[in-house]
């Protein structure tokens, strides 16, 4: 099968994005949050966990620790037990507490609103920063700095032929080159929903997928 030209790949990417917007017009993060601090903590907890588990945990967590100040001084062992069900609880407890302390020490207890400063927070890499910024900061202006690439986005983008990469940072760069900035939040959320509902890890549901005719994996199978 001949290698797809960059122009053809971009045209297909634009059509994929259009279909995703039509199929998932209200695509948003599945995490529950009321402010940027809550979204940041929830996103850190969501690593290697599910949104359903995290949402159950944070319902009580934020009642006890509603601010960075409250979370920073929480008893570590008690905090570990409160987030136990999210997995990797010791590492996550340390990350959210050290992040909370840094917010207090350097950002007046507030979550920074740009990528450069977000990446200085412990436990925050580009995926987490993109989720927080895109959902809580840039969603009204579409002035996104990147695309959140989780395991679903990485898998689905590769299967759709939008990238040949498997490293999340490189996948993000490929998607950013193919799609207009204003679509970066929506395409990430759309690919996540597609990955959960149709393009699952074990057995993709090609028959009911809204992108079946645009998927090169289907065309060559």
| Residue numbers annotated as active site | 127, 150
Contact 146, 130 (CB under 8 A): yes
Structure tokens at 107: 């950002």
- For residue 131, report the phi and psi dihedrals to the nearest 5 degrees: -60, -50
| Cα Rg of the chain (Å, integer) | 18
In 110-183, which residue ranges form alpha helices assigned H by DSSP? 115-118, 126-132, 151-159, 168-178
With b for 16 or more beta-carbon neighbours within 10 A and e for fewer, the 29-43 pattern comes to bebebeebbbbbbbb
Contact 171, 184 (CB under 8 A): no
For Cα atoms 39, 33, 37, give the angle at the middle one, nearest 5 degrees.
40
The Cα 134–Cα 112 span in angstroms is 13
């Amino acid at each position: 099968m001949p290698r797809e030209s960059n122009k053809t790949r971009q045209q297909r990417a634009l059509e994929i994005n259009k279909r995703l917007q039509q199929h998932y017009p209200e695509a948003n993060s599945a995490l529950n949050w009321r402010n940027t601090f809550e979204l940041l903590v929830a996103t850190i907890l969501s690593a290697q966990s599910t949104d359903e588990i995290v949402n159950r945990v944070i319902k009580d967590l934020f009642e006890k620790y509603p601010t960075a100040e409250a979370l920073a001084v929480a008893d570590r062992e008690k905090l570990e037990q409160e987030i136990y069900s999210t997995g990797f609880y010791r590492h996550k407890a340390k990350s959210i507490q050290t992040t909370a302390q840094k917010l207090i020490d350097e950002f007046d207890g507030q979550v920074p609103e740009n990528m450069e400063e977000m990446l200085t927070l412990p436990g925050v890499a580009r995926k987490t920063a993109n989720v927080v910024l895109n959902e809580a900061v840039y969603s009204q202006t579409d002035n996104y700095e990147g695309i959140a690439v989780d395991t679903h986005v990485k898998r689905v983008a590769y299967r759709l032929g939008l990238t040949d990469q498997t490293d999340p940072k490189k996948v993000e760069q490929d998607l950013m080159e193919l799609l207009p900035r204003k679509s970066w939040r929506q395409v990430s959320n759309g690919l996540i929903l597609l990955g959960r509902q149709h393009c699952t890890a074990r057995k993709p549901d090609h028959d009911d997928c809204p992108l079946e005719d645009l998927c090169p994996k289907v065309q060559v199978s």
